[in-house]
Structure 1
Amino acid sequence: MYQIKEFSYLCKTTIKTLRHYEKVGVLLPKEINSLTGYRFYEESQVETFQQIKTLQEAGFTLKEIKDILYSTKESQLNQQILDMISDYNDRLKKLQELKDSLREETKIELIPNSNFIMIGKYKRLKSRDDYDKEFAKIDKKIGIYRNVSKKALECYTPGYQEENFLCFIGRAVKDDYKEIHNVAALTSRMKQVGLDILIDDRPPTMLHIHTKGSVSDAYQKLIQYAEQNQIQLRGSFKEVYNDNDLDIYIEAYDLTKENPDQTKFETDLKKKLASTEPQYDKELIGKWKLLGEQLEPTKFYNPEKSQFIPDTELKEIEFRPNGTTNFSNITWRDKYMIIKEGEYDIYCSIGVMKRKRKRYLTVLLNTEKSASRPIRLFYKKEKSKGEIL
């Protein structure tokens, strides 16, 4: 199944639209994890979404569409309408497939990390139509590195977006060029002209798509490939442009193969927790209120600004001195929050980050759905009597 973020790419629509459809009852998730707030959809529901959009374009209201999709009244007429829509959408799909066949074949593969260094600026774009204009402003400042780089965009806002999204605009430079091996000097030089350097976390593998097709089609194919091949996606998407070619990269892991580093980490962690006395950091003890999900890199993240807040039961967390919390299935010790989900223990990294004399709790939230993308949540400590934050 697909998380709502991934499902939005399949439907080429926003998370906001999917949540609205859920609210009015025309398209409900197949499953909701009440603790994390994760919503999961099946690929077959893409057809339902397409039916809804086609009916809307034909002038039907969402209430009328709900009746057509789910009401038993006039069921024969409703089925005739849906059959006509399915036939129409099938024809559109065949036309798209024909169009794709005229282009060079799309290639998707799991590859070693491409080790890009990004030079540019962190921005919020009102529309994708503004990208070229903003890129031109930034590109003037990049100078000689234009010769060893490609136009690029890294997207942070979750789900499919055409408007009002967070991103990093600039150029992607492969770090095997001798000219930029001195990253400190490059960072200093770019800072002088008002630009930032973005270095990824060096994940071992990335999922990569190369295509001459549209951005939206590329995302759709990438998400489908990951689901069909049990590949876990993490982090943000990097779009790299070269004339008519488009490459998209994202940190990814093949779940069908054992990851020696991850296996060793989990084994060592369990041994350590089983053989040592629990440590309860005083900094973590107390009540924490959710500020939102961290989307952009930490260096650009401002916890005090308005944030994207996922629909989760973990709006407030209380870490108690004895290792318990305000949730019966969640305990904590050392630097981990441990969620009991059925027969599984899910270990979520926790820690305190300090910004401008304020402390914030960070939680890397995992779920038993191993193919789901973990999210990083930020919390602000609630002040207790006599406590100075």
Structure 2
Amino acid sequence: MFKIGEFSKLCGLSADTLYHYEKLKILIPLSIDKFTGYRHYDASQLVTVNKILALKDAGFSLDEIANVSKNDVSVTLLLEMLENKAKSLETALSDQYSRLERLHTNIFMIKNGGIPQMNEISIKKVEPILIASIRKIFPRKGFDENLEKMWPAVNSYIEEQGVKRTIPCLMLYHSGWWDLKQCNIMYDDQNLDVEVAEPVTKSFIGNGEVQVYELPLVEKMACIVHHGSFSTISKTFDMLFEWMKQNSYQADGPIREIYHKGDWATNNPDEYITEMQVPIK
């Protein structure tokens, strides 16, 4: 037998909590001395303590726990109640995760100045964006082969660091497909200089291949949205570049290709949504 102070230390509950549980009739002392009022507990009551703690951790209120104790619920029914609580918690967590994803998306969209209308060119201000990225220079004919390695590498490293990605992902062309010197767009007829990037929620240390840094604020970003397959995206780029030439704008940084909706969201390439951005001066 244990006095309340001894049992308190044994079970990890304060004396006040034990008194409160006694009032709720969910943990009653084995005996109470009628003259001194001293309460005594038995080691076997640790089973009851563990049941209370398990129910509390599962989200049961003390009133619910009292009801379970009063009705002497069977183990089978108790397990069913815990499983139902587990399902409710899973649903709540899923809802909260979806809410978090939407929040990160909204943060990115606010920083990114929103998405312009389909196939209409706009100029907007883009706030700094924290990214983890891999940048490589490789032969033009090795485009698909290199990207198939770069994307998994950067995503794998982000996951190893326990950091959350946000959406959408993007690619930066430091030297691209377009021979447009009059627009100050970097070009190499042999190689591409490409960076794949994932926006992330917090900074962490890179590993030599993966770099983590903040894309700078851009006061004037020319933007256009391509709706459809990547096979026809060049036409949308041509519209953007022609607009730049007609308005005497020059590129003032790498071209960004932002993937708002891709094969992770739909099996229909016609539903892809890709935004092209060029810092201009």
TM (normalized to structure 1)? 0.32
Larger radius of gyration: 2
- Name the structure with the higher helix share: 2
TM (normalized to structure 2)? 0.42
Q: Which has the higher contact order (CA 8 A, sep 6+)?
A: 2
- Name the structure with the higher strand share: 1
